Amino acid sequence: MISIAPLSSEPWGTLPGGDPVRLFTLRNAHGMKVSVSDLGATLVSWHAPDRAGRLGDILLGHDTPAQYMAATTYMGGLIGRWANRIADARFTLDGIEYTLDRNEGANLLHGGTHGFHRTVWDVSEDHGALVMRLESPEGDAGFPGNVTVQVRYTLDDDGTLTIAYEGMTDAATPLNLTSHPYFNLTGRRGADIRGHVLSIDADRFFEVDASMIPCELAEVAGNAFDFRQSAPIGARLDWPHAQLARAGGFDHCYVLRGTTEAATAERELQVRQAACAYDPGSGRELTVSTDQRGLQFYTGNSLNGDIGRGSIAYQPHAGLCLEAGGFPNEVNMTEQEQVIVRPGNTYRQTTQYRVGIRSGL
């Protein structure tokens, strides 16, 4: 049962144009607190206890709204209308070709230059939950249809942050949302995630081409991408593998078990555990559960001196992302209809991040 978590808010600076930004904080009965900004519906910080009860911030982030607007790392942002990449920033839907905002070479990445993570959302409270709402107009980044998105954040006393998404449109359009928090379970500024131990419930992943667009499905068995049994991330980063060399680490979408096209056509998927990350030093454990088919595992390869909270310069592998959603470039795949929302239908997604303590070392 979800307990009603206290919710507070406070001013949190302004945007370069002078518009005010606020910070909202959810708390549970055990001292855990998660702060979310109305700028980008962004997960700004998450203070969680280690095995000795000491609170530490397990998210990478910035100190001010202006720094979030200037950054290109999407830290903690709510990503839309399209999470991840669309090849050549174009797709065809119902016989019409649409050209999108090219913001990563020839591709669209994470909703384009002015994606949802750079927009101030409307905010309300509902029985202790934080509810954020955004109107995305026809032509936003080149996408068709006027889209309304709502995201609901709740924090349970067992350390579960539930992110429930909904989206509606007045014209057929692709919609693929995700949250982009960078986790570092050590809670220490300047530490990396090489010592984290990870498991992912997937037998296959998408290999990528030179533009980081999925090119073919591959089996995880027998190579660095096999996290079906828990394995240390640092050791896997050091494995010789052409895909790791291409991305500078992990930046690949895993196909979660039980999510074949035939299975999803028969029924809606239920929320189930997809991944688990553990930091032996602090004892903190992160469990990711979702009803989505894809999970993007990213090891912060593009962090290269980006200035974060407390003037820390984040280096590669300072944080890890586990982003649930559809597949990258799925709008250009044969199963395109899986990511199309049509008038009268509602896009729904639920992803849960649970942070707790694992007993033992």
Q: Is 74 helix (H, G, I), strand (E, B) or coil?
A: coil
Q: Is 141 helix (H, G, I), strand (E, B) or coil?
A: helix
Annotated binding site: 84-85, 180-182, 251
Catalogue the active-site residues. Answer: 180, 323
Cβ atoms of residues 298 and 181 within 8 Å: no
* CB count in 10 Å sphere of residue 44: 25
Query: Closest Cα partner for 151 from 79, 103, 209?
Result: 79
Residue 249 zone, left/alpha/beta (φ > 0; ψ -120 to 50; rest): left
Annotated binding site for beta-D-galactose: 84-85, 180-182, 251
| CA distances from residue 16 to 20, 36, 65, 328, 355 in whole angstroms, order as listed | 10, 19, 9, 32, 34
Cα 61 from chain centroid (whole Å) = 14
Cβ atoms of residues 101 and 141 within 8 Å: yes
Outline where the chain has alpha helix (H).
Answer: 65-70, 233-237, 242-247, 261-266
Run of H or E residues at 200: strand 197-200
> Whose structure tokens read 């999108």?
100
Those residues with Cβ within 8 angstroms of residue 53's Cβ, 6 or more apart along the chain or in another chain: none
Count Cβ atoms within 10 A of the Cβ of residue 74 and give its class: 0-12 exposed, 13-18 middle, 19 or more buried. Answer: buried
Report the distance separating Cα 107 and Cα 222, nearest Å. Answer: 31
In one letter, which amino acid is 255?
A: V
Those residues with Cβ within 8 angstroms of residue 330's Cβ, 6 or more apart along the chain or in another chain: 176, 294, 336, 338, 339
Count Cβ atoms within 10 A of the Cβ of residue 32 and give its class: 0-12 exposed, 13-18 middle, 19 or more buried. Answer: buried
Query: Closest Cα partner for 180 from 305, 292, 296?
Result: 296
